Structure 1
């Protein structure tokens, strides 16, 4: 039999609820593997075995039931899938009651089997595509690339279609899991009318298997929401691990706008908050790994820098593209000795900062100032401080460290030092 026993019992339960009559499903050997009467499961049914072997309907009556071991009055009909006998369905009851239902039940069961097998086939296809995609974004040898080209044809992945890799991380994934735990526990209490104090409710934990199912359903919902904004013919969305998702998108839309639409839709429907790293376009099979790695680097740098900015001043960026972080990625790959030499000029400034929060505020001001065209007015508006405060801070920097950030070259040099220092802190953490 194609189906496992759980699937067979589900079919039996559905048919029994529709007909209001008991049915049994037997395998080709006459063993009952699903029944409206749980006590009969695993019993031998000789009429079913003969029905499967001879591919014919067998009617058991009170008069002839002694000829068929383990059989009760009813009609037994072979069930088929892809023109092959998969088992036998039996309807319990007298001949006059059951004979008219036989063909109907047979076709109903066969339809349900086809539905289940179709779902399994689709699941296998999705799984095969995901496994292929996971290999595609890895670094591959020339030999592996040739194998991937062959596999792409098997799973129907068009390598001629240009795509880009986008990575998504759920910021509040742990909080979402805790919320699932508490919701499920409270629902259980309500369903059983259990009276329990509020402080006791906080300590309730749901069974681990139940929680895992809910987590997987939540992840699947995220995938489906992203897919609703994607081209299903060419795009692919999958959960890489834990809270990280990967999108292979063929969208011609501005990637920042595309990502913003995804963030908004996921947040609206699940309350999950995403951060996203946008990789480069991929027009060749070897470029998927590079695009994937760029997305990872952007997530790491985008979420790990802004060391000098207090939380209230951060730009609240959740989507990271190469243009915004190209300097970080460039400086990240410079040799450590070279970076140490560069920072030597500013070491005293950074050292003093560890014991003086006002210097950290000063450096935060320099960063916002440089990023906003060295405009004191815009910096003042961004940081919600008076322009005179900015002027005072810059004067303090000039007097104490001989750095004049109103000079564009000096400002650029210090901004570069800030970036390198932030990367240094990111590496240490």
Structure 2
């Protein structure tokens, strides 16, 4: 800490008092660096000034508050005051009320417990600060707008192994990531310390992934997907970017976004490297897309069931019976619906050129709905 760094003891003062209050019978107070009581087992002492604490902080030594001192000094009662010193800086005082001779035995216990709370808090705050700096760095890296030399300098400062990471994955949930989700992600980080998981928005995660084989990655993602679905009981969508060198990971991020769009349409984990026609359709003029959909399947837009049946028929390599079974309908019902589709669209759906146009139109329609 040192220097001019201030430590807000109030954040953990209540925890310290509660813990010590359960271990010893005497009253316990926590006093901040200005000499004011910020936590106490005796609520009547809250916010009172404690002159003895200031002296103990200045001298950086344990002081016995005798009967005489309790009369001479403002806000003092008989007992012990022990300064909390972190990196040679007094950040506050812990006080135990009672006859000094009787409470002497508690001195080391009180100091150790308090020191543990303070150091644990400092460690967590340091980790949070490092995580925030990493997140800001990743944001600049994935935006692709910052000079590479500057990124290299920041990566070195943050001790990032740029040879280790080569891929970005985006996970989309159908809901806000709540506390149980955050706890699960923390547990994953502990189990897989080389995997970095960032909450990108209220319902989206970005994963910075080390260089592992595709088979291993697929196994990990399917396991991850199952656990998140079990946690939230909702569909989870995962888009996987391609492998790139570290300072070109913005490309992997863009690819993961494209894959995520397809994943949302198809309810599955999608690797961008597997996309073909979907890749071609991912960056088209929105107005022209609207015109194309209108000219091909416009008369089916309000008939979601018919669109789904047509899509299944176009994708299937089997016969009508197999498609009907997959749709859980009678074969004659499927025949009737396909005839109805032909009548509404005024085309022969068995024509290969029409089939291609219909498949593209449905893909674009699904893409639009998922945005």
1:103 aligns with 2:115: no
1:161 to 135, 160, 164: 164
RMSD of aligned C-alpha atoms? 3.5
- Relative to 1, partners in 2 of residues 1:169 and 1:225: Cα closer, same or farther, differing over 3 Å? farther
Alignment of 1:218-237 (within 5 A): 218-224=180-186, 226-227=188-189, 231-233=192-194, 235-237=195-197
Q: Equivalent residue for 2:3?
A: none
- The answer to whether residue 365 in structure 2 is matched with residue 415 in structure 1 is no
Aligned to 1:260: 222
Aligned ranges for residues 278-427 of structure 1 at < 5 Å? Answer: 278-286=240-248, 288-303=249-264, 305=265, 317-322=267-272, 325-334=275-284, 343=292, 347=295, 350-353=297-300, 361=306, 364-373=308-317, 376=320, 378-385=322-329, 401=346, 403=348, 405=350, 408=352, 411-420=355-364, 422-423=366-367, 426=369
- Partner residue of 2:208? 248
Distance 1:419 1:57 in 2: 74
What do the CA deviations read for 1:345-377 (whole angstroms, capped 9, x no partner)? x93x6354468x59x73x645532442336556
TM-score (norm 2): 0.81
Match of 2:198 in 1: 238
Change (3 A) 1:55 1:323: closer
Q: CA distance change for structure 1 residues 82 and 167 in 2, over 3 Å: closer, same or farther? A: same
**Alignment partner of 2:88 out of 83, 93, 97:** 83
| 3-state SS, counterpart of residue 281 of structure 1 | coil
Structure 1: how far apart are the matches of 2:218 and 2:318? 25
**1:41 alignment counterpart:** 46
2:239 maps to which of 277, 281, 287: 277
Change (3 A) 1:153 1:63: same
After TM superposition, the runs of 4+ consecutive aligned structure 1 residues lying more than 4 A away are 334-341, 363-366, 374-378, 385-402, 407-410, 420-423
> Does 2:27 align with 1:22?
yes
Structure 2 unaligned spans of 5+:
1-5
Q: Are 1:120 and 2:121 an aligned pair? A: no
SS for the counterpart of 2:247 is coil
Q: Tell me the alpha carbon deviations over residues 63-91 of structure 1, each in whole angstroms, 9 at most, x when there is no partner.
A: 44333232211122333222333333322
Structure 1 residue 70 corresponds to structure 2 residue 17: no
How far apart are residue 58 of structure 1 and its match?
2.4
Q: Report deviation, 1:265.
A: 0.9
Q: How does 1:145-160 map to 2 (within 5 A)?
A: 145-160=148-163
**Match of residue 185 from structure 1:** none
Helix, strand or coil for the counterpart of 1:285?
helix
Cα distance between partner residues in 1 of 2:329 and 2:75: 88
Q: Deviations over 1:201-225 (max 9, x none)?
A: xxxxxxxxxxxxxx64134134235
Q: Report SS of the residue matched to 2:226.
A: helix
CA distance in 2: counterparts of 1:123 and 1:354, whole angstroms: 49
Aligned length: 363
Cα deviation digits, residues 123-146 of structure 1 (max 9, x gap): 2222222222222221324x2x32
Q: How far is 1:18 from its partner?
A: 1.0
Shift, 1:20, TM fit: 1.8
323 and 410 in structure 1: CA distance in 2 versus 1, 3 angstrom threshold: farther
Distance (whole Å) between structure 2 residues aligned to residue 30 and residue 395 of structure 1: 86
Contact map agreement 1:167 1:247 (CA 8 A) in 2? yes
Residue ranges of structure 1 left out of the alignment (5+ in a row): 175-214, 306-315
For residues 320-361 of structure 1, the C-alpha deviation after alignment (integer angstroms, 9 at most, x for no partner) is: 3336653123024345787689x59x93x6354468x59x73
CA distance in 2, matches of 1:23, 1:295: 55
Change (3 A) 1:270 1:420: closer
